[in-house]
Structure 1
Amino acid sequence: MDRYVALLRGINLGSHARIAMADLRRLVTGLGHEDVRTYLQSGNVVFASAVRDAERLAAGIERAIADELGLTVPVLVRGTREMAAIAGGNPYAGREDDPTKLLVAFLRAAPERSRVDALTVPGGETAAFTVTGREVYLHYPDGYGRSKLSNAYLEKKLGVVSTTRNWKSVRALADLAA
């Protein structure tokens, strides 16, 4: 069995798309996956599965959430090796000690090169980004809270579904999946 991390987009933000982690664990276990664990309340699930197709895994979790909870929630899945590479590949990690200022946007698919080339930091901001395949490494020296370089901005500019996690979560998920 291989290990995976499922990242749910946009759940448990205020009153939007509320999913209890116990329900999420039950749903993922009900799909036949094993050793299912959640991390925090923001839709991070680590599990083992005999299925080796990340897109199929994501589609199955999305369908179960829709069927059982009546919610449409995008799910992105990464394997153990992918998570280890992401956690080891942050170009900003050596420049920043505060993990809340480092984030990773996980993309459903690699964006078109023309969209990556056109992506810019909104005017007046000190943030920086690096797009690597299906991830965008983000550095917010002034913090993420008020930045316009948000998950929604990335989705609009890159044309793909994304979900963002802070650096502490990325490292923790990579460790849990290992």
Structure 2
Amino acid sequence: MPTYLAFLRAVNLGATRAFPKDDIRRVAEQAGCTDVQTHINSGNVRLRSPLRSRAKIECALEGAFAADRGFEVPTVVFEASEFAAIARDVDELAVAHPEIVRHYVYLLKDELDAEALAAVAATKSDAGEMVVRARAAHALLGAGYQPGAVDPLNAAKLLGVATSRNATVIRAIAAKWC
């Protein structure tokens, strides 16, 4: 059974979207997953599933999470090897862009089509740029980035269903689980 990494969007952002990691593990196990682990309390989950497709795993988890929590929990799933490639891209982009001051990675449910890719590329500004590789969009933020800005490139709305993590978390998860 392959190892998968699941990333939950918009959990533990306030009292109304609370989903503690022990509850995430319990619900994932109730949904048929095994070997479930979590990393920090922001919706990062390692699991094994008898389901054979990413879409089926996402659907099963989203249904179980919504039933348990009473709110939708968009979930983005990668095979461990796919996620390891994202972590390698983080390192490669850090070397290629030494000027970046912040690096966030948007983990995408689906790859972007050509039109969306062009729109994302057009968000480049003095704040930074987006680099899209497969189902990961890297926000490379430079000197023009204002700390605290939620979406400094105005690109998040172009990405479809996605959840973001910073480069440090991406590296830590890959080191731990890939």
Unaligned runs of 5+ in 2: none
TM-score (norm 2): 0.86
Q: Distance in 1 between matches of 2:163 and 2:98?
A: 22
Q: Distance in 2 between matches of 1:168 and 1:97?
A: 17
Q: 1:12 to 1:147 in 2, by over 3 A?
A: closer
Tell me the CA shift for residue 155 of structure 1. 4.0
Which residue is equivalent to 2:149?
Answer: 146
Which structure is richer in relative contact order (CA contacts within 8 A, separation 6 or more)? 1
Tell me the CA shift for residue 147 of structure 1. 5.2
Code of the aligned partner of 1:117: A
The answer (yes or no) to whether the contact 2:105–2:139 under 8 Å persists in 1 is: yes
Q: Distance in 2 between matches of 1:34 and 1:24?
A: 12
Q: Distance in 2 between matches of 1:51 and 1:29?
A: 13
Which residue is equivalent to 1:89?
Answer: 89
Which residue is equivalent to 1:118?
Answer: 119
Tell me the CA shift for residue 121 of structure 1. 2.8
The answer (yes or no) to whether the contact 1:105–1:163 under 8 Å persists in 2 is: yes
Q: Distance in 2 between matches of 1:128 and 1:70?
A: 36
Greater than 4 Å deviation, 4+ residue runs: none
Which residue is equivalent to 1:72?
Answer: 72
Identity across matched positions, percent: 28
Root mean square deviation, CA, Å: 2.2
The answer (yes or no) to whether the contact 1:5–1:173 under 8 Å persists in 2 is: no
Q: Deviations over 1:127-168 (max 9, x none)?
A: 121011211012123465225336xx434224x111101111
Q: Distance in 1 between matches of 2:112 and 2:106?
A: 12
Q: Deviations over 1:50-76 (max 9, x none)?
A: 323111111111000111221111000
The answer (yes or no) to whether the contact 2:127–2:152 under 8 Å persists in 1 is: no
TM-score (norm 1): 0.86
Q: 1:122 to 1:84 in 2, by over 3 A?
A: closer
Partner of 1:22, secondary structure, is helix
Unaligned runs of 5+ in 1: none
Q: Distance in 2 between matches of 1:44 and 1:63?
A: 17
Number of corresponding residues: 173
Q: Distance in 2 between matches of 1:56 and 1:146?
A: 34
Which residue is equivalent to 1:49?
Answer: 49
